Structure formats: C-alpha cells, structure tokens
Amino acid sequence: MLATDILQVKNLVKHYPNVKAVNGIDLNLKKGVCFGLLGPNGAGKTTTVEILEGINHASSGEILYKGQPLDEQFRNEAGIMFQSTALQDYITVRETLDMFARFYPKNLDVDNLILRCNLTEYLDQDNRQLSGGQRQRLLLAIALVNDPDIIFLDEPTTGLDPQARRNFWDLINDIKAEGKTIVLTTHYMDEAYSLCDEIAIMDHGKIIAEGTPKTLLSENFNDAVLQLPEKELNKIDLSNLTTHIKDEYIEITTCDVNGVVSMLIENSISLSHLQIRPRTLDDLFLELTGKELRT
C-alpha cells in the first residue's frame, strides 16, 4: 500500500444465498480523489459500498483503511451519506447536527458547517418539514460533521430538481477542493463526469472498466455521434452506417464525421438541425452494460 493510498480493497467477495453480489473486486483509492462507482441496478455497487463503509460484512477479501482493517479509527474518520436515511421526528436541524457532532471525538465547527451547506434558514425547522434538497444538504452536513478524511456519498442527488443538483455539485466540489477523498455512487453519468477524477463501472458483481472518465472514453471510443431529425433522413439509404433512433431523431455513430457530413450534403439533406456530439459516459455505460432494462 502506497503512502498516497487511503483505501485498498483486495479480492472483495460477498455471496448471498443464490447470488454473488460482489465477485472479486480490487480497488486502490488515493487520497484526495473523487472516485465514482457506477453500474446498473443490481450490479453490486450498493453492496460494495456498504462493505467499504463497514455497514455490511464481506464473505471474503480484505479492506484496508490507511493500511489498517476497518476499525474505530475508520468510523471516526469516515463520513457517510446514505441514499435514504430517516431522521428523527420532532428534532430540529440544529439539534440533529449537534447530536451527530457529539458522536465523534473530532468535529467541524457546526455553525460553519451550517453556513457551508446553506442550512441557516432551516436551523429551527423540524426534520419532517424539510424539502428534498434541504434534507440532502442536512445529510451531507451530517456526513461532514466529523471533518472526515473519506466521504461516502450514495446517490446523493437522486430525486433532486436540476437547481438542487447543481447546488449539491457545488458543495461536493468545495469538499474536493479541501483534499478530501470521496466515494460517489450515482446513476447520473453527467454527475460522474463532472465530479469524479476516477470511475469504475460495475456489472454482475465485477468491475468491468476503471480509469479517469476521459481515459475510459478515449480507450473505448474513437467516433462521434451525429444527430438529425428522422424525417430529414427518410429520403436516403443509411444501411451502410451505424444508426440508432432516439425519440424523433436518428443518431449516426461514425469515425468519419467529415465523410458522413459530405454524404448528407451530396444528398441535399438540410443540416440546419444537425448536432454533433462526442461520446459520453452514458454511451460508455450502455456499451459496457448493455441496453436491456435492469430491475
């Protein structure tokens, strides 16, 4: 384990009766990175993260935090935000933060945390009266209350509106700027691309791709996607191209963008609605995990 590694996972396995939820995972997380764990429903990422958080036990394998098995030091230095956590009724935001702060030997200044997570207006509000965004910010504040070295964020923006999501991303970027290590699971590929320095894509209990978002995209794709309204392209034969219908548009995936554009011009296709985009993590995700619906 290198001095820069904060969390090391070796051959992690978790078997339930009839299900291999996690099937031999190895990870090395360096200090200060934002690591994204992605995967379709049932891929095993929640089980993996819960084992890393010390909430669930592995069937076999080893997890080392700062070179040591998960122990009291880990519980004191880890900040955890579950996807859904109930908070106590009849207790205010301030009291909730104070309670969690008293669980740890080391704390951030609660007033400062309140300011940082934009909770000042809701301090005396009962937990039950918080909106989705306010609640997520409180859960993040709870995860930060012990000034953690490593923070686990499990789908932190699920269910939030676009403004609340952007606001949450800003908070996560602030945390990153402080050099904290973040483990993030999310279903939003734009979120992973925007926030994560490294990602791993899981499927069927295994990591099937790992690296920086840009590296993974460049390793897996050397093409781009051209998008035009379906009605415009009805006139020409596209059978020799890779196409995909999305809503009322046809997407053409090609390595030769110039060639395809020339062909469209030769066939008098209007390019006024043409959109060209590079490949995204969404494409990579679907490419690697398939397009069938997971339940």
Partner 1 sequence: MSFKRFLALFSTRNKEFFRDRSSLSWNILMPVLIVAGFSFAFSGDIGKQFKVAVLNESMANAQSQKFLKLKHIDFYSVKSTGYEIKNTVAKVQRHQVDMLLDAKSQKYWINTESPSGYLVEKILLSSADNNFDKQTVTGKQIRYIDWVIPGILSMNMMFSALFGVGFVIVRYRKNGMLKRLKATPITAFEYLSAQIASRIILIMVVTAFVFYGTHLFVDFVMNGSHFNLFLVFALGALSMISLGLVIAARITSEETAGGMLNLFSWPMMFFSGVWFSLEGAAPVMQSIAEIFPLTHVTTAARAIMIDGAGLIDISYHLIILSLQSAAFLLFGAWFFKWD
- Return the residues of window 30-59 that contact partner 1 according to CB under 8 A: 53-55
Site for partner 1 (CB under 8 A): which residue of 13, 64, 70, 91?
A: 91
Residue 80 engages partner 1 in binding (rule: CB under 8 A): yes
Q: Residue 16 or 103: which CB sits closer to partner 1?
A: 103
Distance CA 7, CA 23 (A): 18
Main-chain dihedrals φ then ψ at residue 218, nearest 5 degrees: -70, -30
Q: Are 252 and 242 in contact (CB under 8 A)?
A: yes
User: Residue from 30, 70, 104, 279 that binds partner 1 (CB under 8 A)?
Assistant: 104
Quick check: 129 binds partner 1 (CB under 8 A)?
no
**In angstroms, what is the minimal distance from the CB of 98 to partner 1?**
8
Amino acid (one-letter) located at 145: V
Tell me which of 3, 17, 18, 89 binds partner 1, using CB under 8 A.
89
Cα separation, 13 vs 30, whole angstroms: 22
Residues 6+ apart with CB under 8 A from 113: 97, 119, 141, 144, 145
Please, what is the minimum distance in Å from the beta carbon of residue 29 to partner 1? 18
Query: For residues 86 and 177, which CB has a smaller minimum distance to partner 1 in the complex?
Result: 86
Report the nearest approach of partner 1 to the CB of residue 174 (Å).
22
* SS3 category, 210: strand
Residue 90, both tokens: 């009849």
Dihedrals phi, psi of 155, to nearest 5 degrees: 45, 60
Pairing of strands 60-65, 68-69: antiparallel
Residue 240 CB, shortest distance to partner 1, in Å, is 53
Please report whether residue 124 would count as binding partner 1 according to CB under 8 A.
no
Q: How far is the CB of 181 from partner 1 (least distance, A)?
A: 16
Q: How far apart are CA 29 and CA 230, in angstroms?
A: 45
Q: Are 3 and 64 in contact (CB under 8 A)?
A: no
Q: Which residue has the tokens 């509106």?
A: 161
Question: At 75, is the secondary structure helix, strand, or coil?
Answer: helix
Which residues inside 226-265 make contact with partner 1, applying CB under 8 A?
Answer: none
Name the strand (E) or helix (H) holding 81.
strand 78-81
Instruction: Kindly state whether residue 61 participates in binding partner 1, applying the rule CB under 8 A.
Output: no
Single residue of 75, 187, 206, 279 touching partner 1 by CB under 8 A: 75
Q: How many CB atoms lie within 10 A of CB 264?
A: 19
Applying CB under 8 A, the span of 88-96, 158-166, 258-266, 278-286 interacting with partner 1 comes to: 88-96
Choice from 13, 64, 70, 87 touching partner 1 (CB under 8 A): 87
Tell me the site size for partner 1, rule CB under 8 A: 25
100 binds partner 1 (CB under 8 A): yes
Q: Name the residue nearer to partner 1 (CB basis): 182 or 264.
A: 182
Among 41, 84, 173, 262, binds partner 1 (CB under 8 A): 84
The residue type of 101 is A
Interacting residue ranges for partner 1, rule: CB under 8 A: 53-55, 72, 75-76, 78, 80, 82, 84-91, 95, 98-100, 102-105
